[in-house]
Chain A
Amino acid sequence: MSIDITLTVNGREINTEVSPETTLVQLLREHLLLTGTHVGCDTSQCGACTVHLDGRAVKSCTVLAVQADGSEVTTIEGIAVAGGLHPMQAAFHQCHGLQCGFCTAGMIMSAIDLVTREDDLDEATIRKGLAGNICRCTGYHNIVKAVQMAAGQMEGRGHE
């Protein structure tokens, strides 16, 4: 069985055919070659595959590509502003919020969603907000610092 879907990925309209068992992360990585999104555990625990689906952070290993039909998807490749990094990317760079870098794309996508939704971001809120993302290097301290730094710089915070 193969199903025709249309979705927007990083602002570009994609029309493609997928089999129902194709996960969103497989569509992104294997069909669209957007390999910035990683697959860590493939069991919905580590968050390395986090992307935004209609503006919300989701684990793309636990969404079927067919479920994203008609939706807007943003991956790590789609967040940089013209001529520079997204403030969250810049903050991770500046605070050394990564060691091996495997979890980083997912951390950044989760952190952007968190900062957009939460007004009052103390350390505990950030740690709770990133509970769905695991860093195998255990480098959480600088990740939290980076999110705090970016939160001070991102515009359009607390829209809810």
Chain B
Amino acid sequence: MYSFNYSKPDTIEAAREMMRSAEDGIYLAGGQTLIPAMKQRLSAPTDVIDLSSIGELTDIDVSDGRVRLGALVKHADVAGSDAVRSAIPALADLAAGIGDAQVRNRGTIGGSVANNDPAADYPAALLGLGASVHTDQRQIPADDFFVGLFETALEEGEIITQVAFPVPDRAAYAKFPNPASRYATVGVFIGVRDGVTRVAVTGAAPCAFRSAEIEAALNAEISARSLDGITIGADDLNNDIHASAEYRAHLVTVMAKRAVTALPK
């Protein structure tokens, strides 16, 4: 790997200061995307600012109808948390299906969300549950956070501190994983809360999105049958060696049906 400067600040303020003084800085969380990207020189920062010593970012708190995950909470910790599993089993299951065991032991929710990979799992959960992203500056609703391909609403130097999920009445996630990477070829997260159904799709398009058509159908009746006849347009969907846009469009309704079927009664 090429050379870079490394620092490990203890506080958010110190991290921001280091980012301000860096020529081209980047924050390091679990590093499961950043380090491979740096090896391939897809990312070539001058300064890597490691957030792992900021203790307040690793808390898991389940109370007052919310699951609050610190930005540095690892996927394995979400998957293995009894508190998370009893509040939002679909979220624990989603975390248990990210990448592989070694990746889950290092990768963090804050890193995943900040990276906004089009095939990442967490963006679907944030959108499907109506979560909010807390930063050192503000709170950003998930609906406003995921802006485009690897692009988020985060400003330069802004640090995610926590992701807060309102506990739904019911939720489920169904994903068609790429068999090699376990990234979502298409994944659909459905969250039902106070009679309102949210449907979020990842893997299909350049950025995770909510499907208005599927939400409308499920808000009329929550059943796999109510999705019969719904077709998703392939025009803006991803088309690559793993799956054509048309195939992904088809998978969206298939995964949505599977998620509906998997909703707890």
Contact = CB atoms under 8 A, between A and B. Distances in A.
Interface of A: 1, 3, 19-21, 23, 42-45, 47, 50, 53, 56-59, 62-64, 66-67, 69, 110, 113-114, 117, 129-133, 160
B103 interface: yes
B3 interface: yes
A63 B106 contact: yes
Interface in B171-196: 180-182
A62 B76 contact: no
Contacts of A47: 100, 102
Given A63-B31, A67-B50, A58 B106 contact: yes
B6 A1 contact: yes
Contacts, number: 80
B101 A62 contact: no
Nearest to A1: B5
Nearest to B4: A20
Contacts of B36: 43-44, 62
Nearest to B106: A58
B105 A57 contact: yes
By Cβ-Cβ distance, the 8 closest A-B pairs, closest first, are: A132-B100, A20-B6, A21-B1, A56-B105, A131-B100, A132-B102, A59-B102, A44-B36
A63 B102 CA distance: 11
A44 B50 CA distance: 19
Given A1-B6, A44-B36, 10 more contacts: A1-B3, A1-B5, A43-B39, A44-B35, A58-B105, A62-B35, A66-B8, A110-B101, A133-B100, A160-B80
Contacts of A1: 3-6
Given A1-B6, A20-B6, A42-B39, A62 B99 contact: no
Contacts of B99: 132
Interface in B62-99: 76, 80, 99
19 contacts: A1-B3, A20-B3, A20-B6, A21-B4, A23-B1, A43-B40, A44-B36, A45-B181, A50-B102, A53-B105, A57-B105, A59-B102, A59-B103, A64-B6, A67-B28, A67-B31, A69-B8, A114-B101, A132-B100
Nearest to A60: B102
A3 B102 contact: no
Interface of B is mostly: loop
A16 B50 CA distance: 19
Contacts of A66: 6, 8, 50
Contacts of A132: 99-103
B115 interface: no
B101 A113 contact: yes
B120 interface: no
Nearest to B50: A67
B52 interface: yes
B91 to A, nearest CB: 18
Contacts of B102: 47, 50, 57-59, 110, 132
Contacts of B28: 67
B32 A45 contact: no
Contact of B3 (A19, A45, A59, A160): A19
Contacts of B101: 57, 110, 113-114, 129-132
